[in-house]
A and B are shown apart, each in its own frame.
Chain A
């Protein structure tokens, strides 16, 4: 199985400031079609996970453009340009190249 790691595991943030989460995979997630099979999910407190980004950099429907995804191969980054109150929660990366595996999660909350 492909192993996913994330850093940091805890991310205290200040509203209005940028934030960044790193995700790494034990194998390349780059498909022969040129897309990376890497998704990002956000689980807000007390809620189900929701899809944020797919194929590494494409925002899911309704996701604000302050969220961006980048990276290729085994290294990926989720960035938030200006954190807002509704962004707190646990962020998970997930590889979709093989049978899905999730990262351990990054808990983002306010300082």
Chain B
């Protein structure tokens, strides 16, 4: 059974660095081409893709936040970590991680999602 669970602080102060962890089970981060992605959703707003990482350590970031985002993985712990530097109240959102199932010709499917974790940025 594939599961993903996000964890991290509920409240972060402006200018601080937010660190979120996605702990996965039911699949290995070593699986050929398997990956994990992070997506966020401000309250009442739409989904925004943030970053992804694959088993071969290939990484990609959304252009608008690239300078502030870092994604990494610890295969032994089955965890993917996302950091967002210099947070601002506009970064308040529910942050989701999802499994990437690579299918054909570069198509990546987001087939399993975590429950999400709400992070509030406020002083």
| Chain A interface residues (CB < 8 Å from chain B) | 1, 31-33, 35, 37, 39, 41, 43, 48-51, 54-55, 60, 92, 94, 96, 99-105
Instruction: Report whether B113 and A48 are in contact in the complex, using a CB–CB cutoff of 8 Å.
Output: yes
**Which of A35, A100, A103 is most buried by chain B, counting CB atoms within 10 A of its CB?**
A100
User: Which of B26-34, B76-84, B101-109 participates in binding chain A?
Assistant: B101-109
What's the Cα separation between A102 and B96 when bound, in Å? 14
Instruction: Report whether B107 and A102 are in contact in the complex, using a CB–CB cutoff of 8 Å.
Output: no
> Could you show 7 A-B contacts with beta carbons less than 8 Å apart?
A31-B107, A33-B105, A48-B96, A50-B113, A51-B111, A101-B49, A104-B46
Query: Given A48-B96, A92-B47, A99–B114 Cβ distance below 8 Å?
Result: no
Residues of B within 8 A of A104 (CB): 46
Q: CB within 8 A of B47: which of A1, A31, A50, A102?
A: A102
Residues of B within 8 A of A96 (CB): 107-109
Given pairs A50-B113, A51-B111, 17 additional interface contacts (CB within 8 A): A31-B106, A33-B104, A33-B105, A43-B47, A48-B96, A48-B113, A48-B116, A54-B107, A55-B107, A92-B46, A99-B60, A99-B62, A99-B63, A100-B37, A101-B49, A102-B47, A104-B46
Interface size class of B (residues with CB under 8 A): 20 to 34
What's the Cα separation between A55 and B56 when bound, in Å? 24
Instruction: Report whether B110 and A39 are in contact in the complex, using a CB–CB cutoff of 8 Å.
Output: yes
Residue B115 lies at the interface, judged by CB distance under 8 Å to chain A: yes
Q: Whose C-beta in chain B lies nearest to the C-beta of A4?
A: B46
